[in-house]
Every structure is written in structure tokens, then in C-alpha cells.
Amino acid sequence: MRTLVVEDEPTLQAQLAEALAAAGYVADCADNGVDAHFLGDSEAYDAVILDLGLPRMDGITVLKKWRAAGRTMPVLILTARDSWHEKVAGIDAGADDYLSKPFHMEELLARLRALIRRAGGHASAEIACGPLTLDTRAGRATLDGQTMTLTSHEFRVLAYLMHHLGEIVSRTDLVEHIYAQDFDRDSNTVEVFIARLRKKLPPDMIETVRGLGYRLVAPDGNK
């Protein structure tokens, strides 16, 4: 899962990025509104954490521009401005959640998980596919009740496929959602992660759709 952190205070930005990385997310960072708008407009993010008081372009404007351009990724506003008229303005601009500073990192992560889950159309914190279960709260995958041992990249690939159960996920999609923007991307590595995951999962759970990408399905065909 790839996230964008927009925060102009460097220490807080670093703390957020660190906490997100520890929770298994890839995090890009922006410290001003113009960069944030460009990144959100050009990259595929699964969630955005957005501060409102930003240099060069304020957060509400950035958010409105994204929504006007049809960007639908979930956005969590993280701001010190927490009067209700500001919250309503934020929500009306297209935010999906609103968290006011100071906050607890666990609460931020919990809300982020809920946003990503809801964006994928999943109501509960756990996503299941046959014997495979993804606990989004704990950030872990279990197979037949046994916790799977996964590297962080393998987990990201699996989590992305789980959030898009039954859908065809292209290799480019996967690359965009598991690597940070400045990472040297190589789509061939995706094939390596898929191959490793296939070894750890029951056969045929990850289908290859020729020319299009991959699809995660339950082994007996039902999800």
C-alpha cells in the first residue's frame, strides 16, 4: 500500500513516514501544496495524509483540485484546525476523514487502515479469501490460521491483491503501489515477488491473466 504524506513540519513528516513504513506502507512525502498536488495527480496512492496549512497552496485547494480531476484515493486530513466549520469545509472539499493534532499515531494508523479498506469496499478489518486472511489492523496475513512469514515487499504485494480481490491487477499497478516514488522501479522484480508468494500460497490462488496482470482468487473458485 502506497501513501502520500503531506506535512510541512519536517520532524512530524519524518515521524509519520517512519510510522507508516513500520506499519508496512510505502510513504512518499511532500512539504508544500504544489508538490503535493503534482504527486497526488500523477502517482497512484492508496491513501493520502494531508495537512491543511501548507506553503504555496493550501490543503483544501489541493484536495479540491484532486477531486475535480477525478482522483478518488481516500484522503485523511491531519490538521491543528479542528473547529467544526473547518471540518465541514474539509469534508465538503472531498476529505474522507479528519484527524486533529495532537494525535496518537495508533489512531492515525487505525483510521488510515479503515479508509483503505472502505475504499476497496471491505467493511470489516479482516479480508478473507479461502484459507487466506489479511488482518489489516495487525498488518499480518494468516493461512489456515497460521501467520505467514513475509518480507515487507511480499506483504505489500499480497495486501494490494487482497484489497482488490477478484480484480485483475496490472504489473504497473503493483509497481506503483509497492514502491515509493523515488525508488528505482523495475517491473521484473514484481514477478519475483509473485513467484515467491505463489510458493507460500496454495496453488492457483494467484492467476496470471495474459497481457493484463494478476488476479487473486480462492483455490476452489469461491472467494
The answer to whether the beta carbons of residues 78 and 101 sit under 8 Å apart is yes
Place of cell 491543511: 52
Q: Which is nearer to other proteins, 17 or 174 (CB)?
A: 17
**CA atoms of 29 and 10, how far apart (whole Å):** 10
Q: Which three three-digit cell numbers place residue 89?
A: 469545509
Q: Is 101 in the site for other proteins (CB under 8 A)?
A: yes
CB of 174 vs other proteins, minimal distance in Å: 27
Count of residues that bind other proteins according to CB under 8 A: 32
Q: How far apart are CA 4 and CA 24, in angstroms?
A: 14
Q: What are phi and psi of 153, to 5 degrees?
A: -70, -40
Q: For residues 35-54, which are near other proteins according to CB under 8 A?
A: 53
Tell me: does residue 121 bind other proteins (CB under 8 A): no
137 lies in the site for other proteins, by CB under 8 A: no
Residue that is written with C-alpha cell 482468487 in the block: 217
Nearer to other proteins, 97 or 154 (CB): 97
Residues within the interface to other proteins (CB under 8 A):
9, 11-12, 15, 19, 53, 79-85, 87-88, 91-92, 95-98, 100-107, 114, 118, 123
